[in-house]
Chains A and B, each alone.
Chain A
């Protein structure tokens, strides 16, 4: 159906959808990039927090509705994150970065199976108030819930930005991003800052789960599908740079959305140049593969390319 629609319309609708998805990615990736840059922990359980956010929100919203859940579920995730950091991660920290990383891998295993045992696949739905078209654009609907997601993520972006640039703790966090040892030497309580950042990152991941879980799908494997993409975003954007993370999130969101709607392949491009691909052509399968099917590959290809050309990522301030 998209082939018949005018190109402008496809581009504009996809731009909006890509923004929504990109902002969702940013909500997850911003927490991860802070944790990763400050503590050096590759937190494999970060996407599990996103999943827990969605499941908590479902349970809470069944009792007292979606709006309280929007606040309560992320707070639950934050408390959980703080507990994990204070009582487990800090202990493991002595055993080095690999031990910390493997700790989060183990945690992700447990959360995945725990969620499967406690909830399973859920019919977590968009609240009815927002389940309608917000406006029409070239005849296609822009769903109200997408607008709501965009609103929440922009609000969150502004809140983080204000927190990091206008408050004392924000300045300490910013300094610890690039010079953690120096911040400790200046007498700041770095372990407490770590706890705050880990809890804060978990709150953001939980919030992403609350608003993303019903937009995408709430199932025990949602952490495993989202996890790698978020890592790609963080490394692509560069360590220690929230701006890089933001740009990378939007690029990933747009690339993945556009890849789905643009139904072209290398063969089509070659055909424009007068070269026709037949089944006898070498690598015919690769050349005729339509872009929407390749979409899943693109983030990883981009990651590898960026790391080869710019090891620090797009706007990274330190070596990985």
Chain B
């Protein structure tokens, strides 16, 4: 694990009232306001309906934010790499589905607004049981045990009918008729607002947890577990509590999943779902609390958008992953934070030119790469499905040499240009950082 590379910024909470709160937290409040307003941009006034695609994508973003943040409680805050985090999302989802079915029958008159609590309890319960075993180890052994647990539960989900419903999964109906506000929750937009509320609640919960002594001890055991031990803490118990609480929040994400889709299948506990949490968290950045949020928004947007246009999502995700680990191991938020000293020194303006010079060749390379991948894809998979490759009404023949030539030229030419531009950018970057450092020393 990369020691010392991960920092969690801790600011003392200043007692300067509401104004100070607004000044510090305005990005979060603005995000919340945006989340409330954004479905209305896609509102169709003539039919009186929201765009189903937009609302379902926004709901998915909410679920993913909770899931990715709960994953970062392990990966970023405690330095525990898990390969089976989806287990707690899925199990929380299954528990919620059963509770909803019971509520429908009248056995549990639980208002729908509070069903995520059932998911949370489910996630917590399973995380306590499975975490008891997993947290006995750390580092690679921990990662391997969680991989084993993930595969184990996935196989169980396919095997057992009573709880998991086998391959068909458990379907449910969110319109139980029990609501605190008398809402029916038939319309997806109502569920979306429920998701916004629970996402905001979970985010606040996880943020405060990261500032409790437990959260701080998790950081300590991540950075140096032997020293944490010398101070008198049991790293295993720290890992265990962190794991259990992370399971709780993953369970909430699972409950929101169940409320959105009204069906839970084995996919929710399986490996690709766990890999998704890893992808979102890592691309967003593990070092900052907001990192997984950024990652979740970006990945869901990309995933929905790309899969509308192309069936090669996996290739793009893989390339994104490789580029990030190679060039930006601290994620997108890490990249942004690298500019902090320059911003404070008031020299951001000097980087605009170099960035623009970088943008053009980078776009060319991306274009060439996408064209090449899509040509490949249409040559085989597209041909098998009988589809043709059209770009704004121009049909491109993937067998013809022309398109391939263009793709090759874009890739090679853009790549060479990008190399030169990157070099220029490196020079400009080091000049600016030197300048900022010198200014700091003078001050």
Interface contact B275-A304, CB-CB below 8 Å:
no
Kindly state whether residue A29 has any CB partner on chain B within 8 Å. Answer: no
CB-contact partner of B152 in A286, A297, A307, under 8 A: A297
Interface contact B5-A96, CB-CB below 8 Å:
yes
Given contacts A96-B2, A303-B144, A311-B137, contact A110 B381 (CB under 8 A): no
Kindly state whether residue B139 has any CB partner on chain A within 8 Å. Answer: yes
A100 to B1, alpha carbons, bound, how many Å?
10
Interface contact B140-A42, CB-CB below 8 Å:
yes
Kindly state whether residue A157 has any CB partner on chain B within 8 Å. Answer: no
Kindly state whether residue A151 has any CB partner on chain B within 8 Å. Answer: no
Kindly state whether residue B224 has any CB partner on chain A within 8 Å. Answer: no
Least CB separation from A118: chain B residue: B380
A88 to B147, alpha carbons, bound, how many Å?
25
- Residues on B with C-beta less than 8 A from A308 are 133, 136
Interface contact B2-A95, CB-CB below 8 Å:
yes
Least CB separation from A224: chain B residue: B271
Interface contact A103-B325, CB-CB below 8 Å:
yes
Given contacts A106-B319, A118-B380, A308-B136, contact A97 B1 (CB under 8 A): yes
Which of the segments B16-24, B154-162, B182-190, B407-415 contacts the partner chain?
A: B154-162
Least CB separation from B79: chain A residue: A98
- Residues on B with C-beta less than 8 A from A293 are 159
A232 to B148, alpha carbons, bound, how many Å?
8
Kindly state whether residue A112 has any CB partner on chain B within 8 Å. Answer: yes
Interface contact B151-A113, CB-CB below 8 Å:
no
State which residues 104-147 of A face B: CB under 8 Å: 105-110, 112-114, 116-118, 120
- Residues on B with C-beta less than 8 A from A183 are none
Contact with B along A270-293 (1 / 0, CB 8 A): 000000000000000110010001
State which residues 290-314 of A face B: CB under 8 Å: 293-294, 296-297, 300-301, 303-304, 307-308, 311
Contact with A along B314-350 (1 / 0, CB 8 A): 1101111110111001000000000000000000000
Kindly state whether residue A228 has any CB partner on chain B within 8 Å. Answer: yes
Kindly state whether residue A66 has any CB partner on chain B within 8 Å. Answer: no
Kindly state whether residue B376 has any CB partner on chain A within 8 Å. Answer: yes
- Residues on B with C-beta less than 8 A from A91 are 326
- Residues on B with C-beta less than 8 A from A304 are 133, 145, 148-149, 152
**A99 → B minimal CB distance (Å):** 4
- Residues on A with C-beta less than 8 A from B326 are 88, 91-92, 95, 99, 103
Interchain pairs with CB closer than 8 A, number: 134
- Residues on B with C-beta less than 8 A from A109 are 314-315, 317-318, 321
Given contacts A109-B321, A110-B314, A231-B147, contact A98 B152 (CB under 8 A): no
CB-contact partner of A118 in B159, B161, B321, B376, under 8 A: B376
Kindly state whether residue B290 has any CB partner on chain A within 8 Å. Answer: no
Kindly state whether residue A197 has any CB partner on chain B within 8 Å. Answer: no
Interface contact A98-B376, CB-CB below 8 Å:
no
Count how many chain A residues have C-beta atoms less than 8 Å from C-beta atoms of the other chain. Answer: 48
Given contacts A88-B322, A289-B159, contact A320 B141 (CB under 8 A): yes
A97 to B1, alpha carbons, bound, how many Å?
6
Count how many chain B residues have C-beta atoms less than 8 Å from C-beta atoms of the other chain. Answer: 47
- Residues on A with C-beta less than 8 A from B322 are 88, 103, 106-107, 110
CB-contact partner of A112 in B81, B314, B377, B379, under 8 A: B314
Kindly state whether residue B66 has any CB partner on chain A within 8 Å. Answer: no
Interface contact A296-B2, CB-CB below 8 Å:
no
Given contacts A106-B319, A110-B314, contact A117 B377 (CB under 8 A): yes
- Residues on B with C-beta less than 8 A from A319 are 141
Interface contact A96-B329, CB-CB below 8 Å:
yes
Kindly state whether residue B127 has any CB partner on chain A within 8 Å. Answer: no
A300 to B136, alpha carbons, bound, how many Å?
17
A26 to B377, alpha carbons, bound, how many Å?
35
A241 to B376, alpha carbons, bound, how many Å?
42
Kindly state whether residue B278 has any CB partner on chain A within 8 Å. Answer: yes
- Residues on B with C-beta less than 8 A from A98 are 1-2, 81, 282
CB-contact partner of B141 in A88, A92, A105, A235, under 8 A: A235
Given contacts A303-B145, A320-B140, contact A110 B2 (CB under 8 A): no
State which residues 37-64 of A face B: CB under 8 Å: 42
Least CB separation from A113: chain B residue: B314
Interface contact B321-A307, CB-CB below 8 Å:
no
CB-contact partner of B139 in A103, A286, A300, A320, under 8 A: A320
Interface contact A99-B141, CB-CB below 8 Å:
no
A160 to B139, alpha carbons, bound, how many Å?
29
Kindly state whether residue B214 has any CB partner on chain A within 8 Å. Answer: no
**A103 → B minimal CB distance (Å):** 5
- Residues on B with C-beta less than 8 A from A103 are 321-322, 325-326
Interface contact B2-A99, CB-CB below 8 Å:
yes
Kindly state whether residue A102 has any CB partner on chain B within 8 Å. Answer: yes
A118 to B376, alpha carbons, bound, how many Å?
8
- Residues on A with C-beta less than 8 A from B319 are 106, 110
A231 to B140, alpha carbons, bound, how many Å?
11
Kindly state whether residue B312 has any CB partner on chain A within 8 Å. Answer: yes
Given contacts A97-B2, A106-B319, A301-B152, contact A42 B329 (CB under 8 A): no
- Residues on A with C-beta less than 8 A from B325 are 92, 95, 99-100, 102-103, 106
Contact with A along B267-279 (1 / 0, CB 8 A): 0000100010010
Kindly state whether residue B143 has any CB partner on chain A within 8 Å. Answer: yes
Contact with A along B76-88 (1 / 0, CB 8 A): 0000010000000
Given contacts A42-B140, A296-B155, contact A286 B160 (CB under 8 A): yes
A286 to B149, alpha carbons, bound, how many Å?
17
**B299 → A minimal CB distance (Å):** 13
Interface contact A96-B1, CB-CB below 8 Å:
yes
A42 to B380, alpha carbons, bound, how many Å?
32
Interface contact B312-A113, CB-CB below 8 Å:
yes
Given contacts A113-B314, A300-B152, contact A102 B160 (CB under 8 A): no
State which residues 70-125 of B face A: CB under 8 Å: 81
Most buried by A among B152, B275, B379: B152
**A118 → B minimal CB distance (Å):** 7
Can you offer 22 A-B residue contacts whose CB atoms are under 8 A? A91-B326, A98-B2, A99-B329, A102-B282, A106-B319, A106-B322, A110-B319, A113-B314, A114-B315, A117-B381, A118-B376, A231-B144, A232-B148, A235-B141, A285-B161, A294-B159, A297-B152, A303-B145, A304-B149, A307-B148, A319-B141, A320-B139
Known pairs A96-B329, A99-B329; list 5 more (Cβ under 8 Å).
A95-B325, A98-B282, A103-B322, A116-B381, A307-B137
Question: Would you list the 7 A-B pairs with minimal beta carbon distance, nearest first?
Answer: A96-B2, A106-B321, A109-B318, A110-B318, A95-B329, A113-B314, A320-B140
